[in-house]
Structure 1
Amino acid sequence: MARIKILFLLLIFHAAAFAQQHVYVETESFTEKGGWVTDQQSFVVMGSSYLMAHGMGRPVKDASTTVRFPAKGKYRMWVRTKDWAPFPTGPGKFTISIDGQQAGQVMGASGNDAWKWYDAGVVDITKEEVNLVMKDLTGFNGRCDAILFTDALKFTPPNTLKALNEFRNQVLHTSAASLDGGQFDIVIVGGGMAGTCAAISAARMGLKTALIQDRPVLGGNNSSEIRVHLKGDVDKNHYPKLGRIVREMDNGDPGNGNPDAAEYGDARKISIVKAEKNLHLFLNTHVYKVEMKDNKIAAVIGRNITTNQDTRFTGTYFSDCTGDGTVGYLAGADFRHGRESKAETGESLASEKSDSFTLGTSNLWASLEKDTISSFPETPWAIQFSDEYHIDDTKADWEWETGFGNFNTITDAEKIRDHNLRAIYGNWSYLKKNKADKYAKRELAWVAYIGGKRESRRIMGDHILTQMDIQEGKFYPDGTVTATWTIDLHFPDEKNSKYFEGQEFFAGTKHIRVAPYTIPYRCLYSRNISNLFMAGRNISTTHVAFGSTRVMRTCGMMGEVVGFAAAVAKKYNTTPKGVYTDHLAELMAIIKDETPPQQTLQNPPAGK
């Protein structure tokens, strides 16, 4: 009798909850984004993307959308936002209007730098469809994650990640069956230089290939969104075949932070990918979940960063080219984050003790000379500069970098980017005000809002590349990519540390030159997830060795090797490790250009 009563009460509770009318609006799904931009960099800690008003000090155009309500009446309106730079209140102010009438208070200047829901009061909805508008007031990176209307006037939406994800899935139905993205021979996640080159290589070897990228452009750090030039030589290879695809993708050397977006060749990269008949491109798709079976990855789930639609991709092989090692991490791959100790690796350049220190993230910027004098707003919320310390440059280079163990480059991606923005805007405000002879007619032409990461997770393979491998020029039988970049380990600039200890945003380095050396194939697959390749800055190295392997032309060549290896694995129905143990000679023959590309798949062994 008691169990029946409890069940009855539960049913009553469920019915009451179901009767509540929630209208949940993800801002990244706005029909017209105006001048607002979609930011997905913090998906791992937010569970979604959001819109941001990135106007470099000039208010951006309104974002708007049409919202349909299930019924007319009174709804409480909630807005999920934050004050990203409170001092005591920050600059990210915006308002929300319904059919031309402002609803609630000015948002984004609460003095609280945590993401949370703000009560915008009760609104009276008199039509089934209304026009919702977000108006930026400052141009200084105001941001909004979601807007909720609920007829349960005393309801408070959840804010912790787990509860928020559950609520979001319930009201948006994103927990329903995913779209079928298809079955592939290899699914490559990450569309930087490594992933794009891997996808082209695999497709040209005859594999049905999926390339999944979480942004609207390819190239990663070499895209117009981040604007880092390519480094590492492709003309010093032991195997001249490697680097051919990298050369196709190379748009020349526009330098770092060039104000001309076209110099980074976004359209060219996409056109090369789309020309491959075996290659299927999925842009704006953030992979956040994997499905495992028998210690293999069976599928990955990606969410569209604007529509929030999930898509499921199944495959025989997978390659983690995300930089962050996202797929490997989700699959349970062995990985390393931070520095090893000298006692652990025997490297002279290693840290005395292991720690979480990593190279940082850069947000580059550039200014242009104009015909007339211009002003720039006061920035009391930004980092403050002085005659004693400021950075007298018309554009940024790689040194504008935040991280260094003070922030986690994955979970603190938003904090890092925001710290970089506070440095950029604060320094620019000082230059405009105090160095008018040089900067009076200069305006900020471009500031990156997507962070250019250097280091995060490294997925462990059957070989972990070390400083000794590099400096002694060891040539292993499975040596593939020829790498040439110095051991280039960044650290906080000494003068920057003096003025901003623990909050550094400017880097230094000491280049330790090396002779060309080869990266073993065993660094390019996971040692414990049997069908996982990797290419890029997340391959199997120590922190010290990573300082040399991380540059993008080198990463692109890794991707080329992964494409070749996946074709051999497919031919023999084996694992990435099986290619090394049983078919290394064939892989090396392809790399040496001794095997016609299509022969690998056209002539499978009998019975396979």
Structure 2
Amino acid sequence: MNWSTHAVVAALISFMASPVWAADLLVEAESFTDHGGWKLDTQFISEMGSPYLLAHGLGQACQDAKTEVTFPAPGKYRVFVRTKDWVAQWDAQGAPGKFQLAIDGEPLEETFGTQSADWFWHDGGIVDIDKTKVTLSLKDLTGFDGRCDAIYFTNDLNAKPPTSGSQLAKWRKNKLGITEDIKVEGPYDLVVIGGGYSGMGAAISAARMGCKVALIQDRPVLGGNGSSEVRVWAMGLIRRGKYPRIGEIIDEFADSAKKSPGTYEEFGDDQKEAIVQAEPNIDLFLNHHANQLEMKDGQISSVTAFDTRTSQVREFKGTLFCDATGHGSIGALAGALYDQTDKGRMGMSNMWRWDEADHETTFPETPWALDLSMKDFPYPRDHHGQWFWESGFDKDPIQGAEAIRDWNLRAVYGAFNAMKNREGASKHKNAELTWLAYIGGPRESRRLIGDVILTQDDIVDKREFPDGCVPSTWSIDLHYPKKEFADKFPDNPFISIAVHDRRVDRGYGYPVPYRCFYSKNIPNLFMAGRCISVSHEALGTVRVMKTCGMMGEVVGKAASICKIHDCSPRDVYEDHWSEMDELLKLPGQARRETVTSQIEMPKVLPPASSYGPPSGLNPTEMAGIVVDDIQAEKSGTWTEGTGLKGYVGYGYLYAGEKGAKVRFPVKVEKGGKYEVRLAYQPHENRSEDVHVTVAGKQAKDAQTIDMRKKPPIEEGFISLGVFPFEAGETAYVEVEGSGKGNAHADAVQLLPVDAK
């Protein structure tokens, strides 16, 4: 046989062994036109490469996700589904994420979500496609977080798609035909990546100061941890300190949740979006994940993001960029200097709630969840699994994020299983699991380094920086595993305890310097939120949402100065701080069309105070003379609190130490008789014999109060009696702890009986 005969035979063999033509079809799960009851999960794109659909049904099978697809031709195809058995990494039995793929309503024999601890292409066998248009359906079988990333059909029956990494990403783009289809957006004065409180604050502030802004958010809603998806209520006090107008923008959209987690309605997702959409200078891009950028001359020139529903790629060109991702993701891509705490780092929460149905309910057994009894977790008070359902303390907060979230899910399902199917069953016959956050609430990952790295000592010692501008009022609040619940799962505890350093100036606020809000080595990069330039300890106070939002407000104003002077964020501090000082004094509603336009002031100005508006009852609107605890003199160890609502002013004080005292000085302008009242918040841990003294030139009294009981007078007051006071004298009311439970001190009120 000559060479040409060999070639003909080889070609014939190849022709007989392979399809005459190659035909295939890649369907991304996120592109399904009807997600049914499945959720679009975009949290772990940097880890596993793609968004995916999650069957988050809380133990009840989700409604099918469906879409119509067009095949290149009828024929035999091998089908692959990219998925995983999400509990297999812990050798847990039961495969809770089982689901089927149906073609025109007919499920394949293979059940997916039953193999591999890692994402992989699960072979579904060979199918006969007898027409070009068919309907695909994802049929959830459990309601316990099955997941589907993509579906691939190929008539090359021996083919296998790439498994992971850059090879998979390139292959996917090629199959989807989007390699060259990049839409260019901009140029913008400021591109903000991250749509939580910090990103919203930056975008709105910059837009109102005349900048053209792109706001990129990878979720369908704004708010981040303060959205209905995560439901962490907004903490941190606003509008106080040297620049009491900072925070007025945040006040426009901050949630009104009464508990954490609150209700869906309390977080006002629609209101947040409406406020952003109302700004003509903002282009909002929801459902866009930023994962690439371009550098030029050491600066960021553009950021590339893709639509998490359609995979459409957009390139955002800009002059300035703000990393408000919480993870410092854009800074890391740009090569910005950053730090990350390896040991003792705070974790991620997935909060939950249960309710009482009007009938008995059932909950499936969960042998794959954490093996818990009722003593292994704190009972969910008020039907809430709160912030302390937290894990992943020393796990990788970025590449290990999906495993952290999934461990949290296993913990909650194991706890509810104990309530419904184990020793808690008789008490919880009507209990039903009604909400569990599948979007994690992370607290700490990368911290980008700026010209100043703020430390705990700076805050406690009240070190003054000339550019101090954002008041931080939260205590230095660091989370650690709670030992009594950690022994059973020492590798990854799931219940935390908060350790507070309360030496933060809560009333006036500690002013965080502006130099923490821009990168030390990337000249056009701002940052706002959890990824600013602070130490691990200092993060404990600046990380709460209203404080993060105020950082964004400052960044937005600085961006407008950069635009005016064609300068860097650093130059704002070094060369233009007097101009920045003036902008920081403007009300949040002040605006200009462009950076060179006249600033228009709002017709109605909210009152400004260095202590800002009270978060509780306003003492200036109450009758008589009111002295809040913020004006009181303390001795001993007192803790500031805001958790028990109905307090006066900015919070209250409590102490369990014997002999700890709070003295309220009362200046009496007009002499006469006054009824003296004391405000406190009752609680089961309060003392039943708190010592209270009234003292003046004529007024003398000492008594004990049982602070476990609700105060009998409206607004949380109890009467201490009627006493005479002279004009101009300063009397006092003193509260002293007995050491038998907590003494509580909130406010003192004097009401005239016959004032002269």
Normalised by the length of structure 2, the TM-score is 0.74
In 2: Cα distance, 1:181 partner to 1:50 partner: 26
Change over 3 Å in CA distance of 1:181–1:583 after alignment to 2: same
Question: Secondary structure at 2:184's aligned position in 1?
Answer: strand
Does 1:436 pair with 2:436? no
Distance 1:192 1:19 in 2: 49
Q: Secondary structure at the match of 1:560?
A: helix
| Deviation digits for residues 47-106 of structure 1 (CA, Å, limit 9, x no counterpart) | 210001000000010011111111111111111110011333321110011112222411
CA apart distance, 1:280: 1.0
The match for 1:345 is: none
Which of 440, 453, 461 is the equivalent residue of 1:451? 440
| 2:38 pairs with 1:36 | yes
- How far has the Cα of 1:468 moved from its partner? 1.3
Residue in 2 aligned with 1:204? 208
- The counterpart of 2:332, out of the listed 314, 322, 329, is 329
| 2:91 maps to 1:61 | no
Partner in structure 2 of residue 583 of structure 1: 576
Q: Is the Cα–Cα contact under 8 Å of residues 239 and 248 in structure 2 kept in the other structure?
A: no
Is 1:502 the counterpart of 2:467? The answer is no
1:145 deviates by 0.7
2:263 aligned with 1:274: no
Tell me, which stretches of 5 or more residues in structure 1 are unaligned?
1-12, 339-354
Quote the Cα distance in structure 1 between the aligned partners of 2:243 and 2:325. Answer: 26
Q: Distance in 2 between matches of 1:245 and 1:510?
A: 31
Paired residue secondary structure (1:375):
coil
1:276-308 Cα distance to aligned partner (Å, 9 max, x none) = 111111100000001111111111111111111
How do residues 346-361 of structure 1 correspond to structure 2 at under 5 angstroms? 355-361=342-348
2:399 to 403, 411, 415: 411
* Residue 427 (structure 1) aligned to one of 415, 421, 425: 415
Higher strand proportion: 2
- What code does the residue aligned with 1:422 have? R
Distance in 1, Cα, partners of 2:597 & 2:85: 61
Q: Secondary structure at the match of 2:384?
A: coil
**Once the 2 structures are TM-superposed, how far is the Cα of residue 387 of structure 1 from its aligned partner?**
4.8
CA distance in 2, matches of 1:303, 1:532: 21
Residue number in structure 2 paired with 1:288 = 291
Structure 1 residue 19: Cα displacement: 5.1
Kindly indicate whether structure 1 or structure 2 has the higher relative contact order, using CA contacts under 8 Å at least 6 residues apart: 1
Residue 17 of structure 1: how far off its partner (Å): 11
Q: Deviations over 1:308-355 (max 9, x none)?
A: 1111111111100000111111111111111xxxxxxxxxxxxxxxx3
Aligned to 1:85: 87
Partner of 1:144: 148
Secondary structure in structure 1 of the residue aligned to 2:567: coil
How far did residue 179 of structure 1 move? Answer: 1.1
- 8 Å contact 2:472–2:547 — kept in the other structure? yes
Q: Does 1:556 align with 2:549?
A: yes
1:192-591, aligned counterparts within 5 Å?
192-258=196-262, 260-338=263-341, 355-393=342-380, 394-405=383-394, 407-433=395-421, 434-513=423-502, 514-515=504-505, 516-591=509-584
Once the two structures are TM-superposed, the CA of residue 183 in structure 1 deviates from its matched residue by: 1.4
Aligned mates of 1:319, 1:239 — CA distance in 2 = 22
Structure 2 partner of 1:5: none
User: Contact 1:465 / 1:545 at 8 angstroms: preserved in 2?
Assistant: yes
Moved over 3 A (4+): 16-19, 593-600
Q: CA RMSD in A?
A: 1.9
Distance 1:603 1:305, change over 3 A: closer
- Select between 449-458 and 101-110 the one with higher mean Cα deviation: 101-110
Q: 1:241 and 1:562 mapped to 2: Cα distance?
A: 14
Whether the 8 Å CA contact 1:224–1:264 is kept in 2: the answer is yes
1:370 shift after superposition: 1.2
Query: Matched residue of 2:501: which SS?
Result: coil
Shift of 1:169: 1.3
- Distance in 2 of aligned mates of 1:444 and 1:88: 22
Contact 1:45 1:161 in 2 (8 A): no
Count of residue correspondences: 572
Cα distance in 2, alignment partners of residues 300 and 169 from structure 1:
18
Inter-CA distance 19–570: structure 2 relative to 1 (3 Å threshold):
farther
CA shift in 2, pair 1:257/1:522, >3 Å = same
Which residue number corresponds to residue 23 of structure 1? 25
The structure number with the bigger radius of gyration is 2
Contact 2:374/2:415 (CA < 8 Å) preserved in 1?
Answer: no
Counterpart residue number, 2:682: none
Match of 2:619 in 1: none
| Residues 1:601 and 2:576 aligned together | no
Question: More helix per residue: 1 or 2?
Answer: 1
Q: Determine if the alignment matches structure 1 residue 98 to structure 2 residue 85.
A: no
Query: Match of 2:707?
Result: none
AA in 1 matched with 2:595:
L
The 3-state SS of whatever aligns with 1:207 is coil
The match for 1:118 among 100, 119, 122 is 122
- 2:597, 2:285 → 1: CA distance? 30
Q: Which moved more, 1:236-245 or 1:547-556?
A: 236-245
> Any stretches of 5+ residues in structure 2 without a counterpart?
1-13, 599-756
* Corresponding residue for residue 625 of structure 2: none
- 1:388–1:267 Cα change, 3 Å: closer
Identity %: 47
Q: Structure 2 vs 1, CA of residues 177 and 437 (structure 1 numbering), >3 Å: closer, same or farther?
A: same
Rounded to whole Å, the distance in 1 between the matches of 2:295 and 2:22 is 37
Q: Work out the CA distance in 1 between the residues paired with 2:522 and 2:591.
A: 27
CA distance in 2, matches of 1:163, 1:599: 46
Which residue does the alignment assign to 1:165? 169
Q: Distance in 2 between matches of 1:304 and 1:215?
A: 10
Out of 97, 109, 131, the position equivalent to 2:114 is: 109
Q: Distance in 2 between matches of 1:17 and 1:179?
A: 36
- Distance in 2 between the 1:151 and 1:415 partners? 35
Q: Distance in 1 between matches of 2:343 and 2:291?
A: 23
**CA apart distance, 1:156:** 1.0
Task: Calculate the TM-score normalised by the size of structure 1.
Answer: 0.91
Q: Give the 3-state SS of the residue equivalent to 2:500 in structure 1.
A: coil
Contact in 2 for aligned 1:567/1:600 (Cα 8 Å): no
In 2, Cα distance between the equivalents of 1:90 and 1:279?
A: 45
Judge conservation of contact 2:377–2:495 (CA < 8 Å) in 1: no
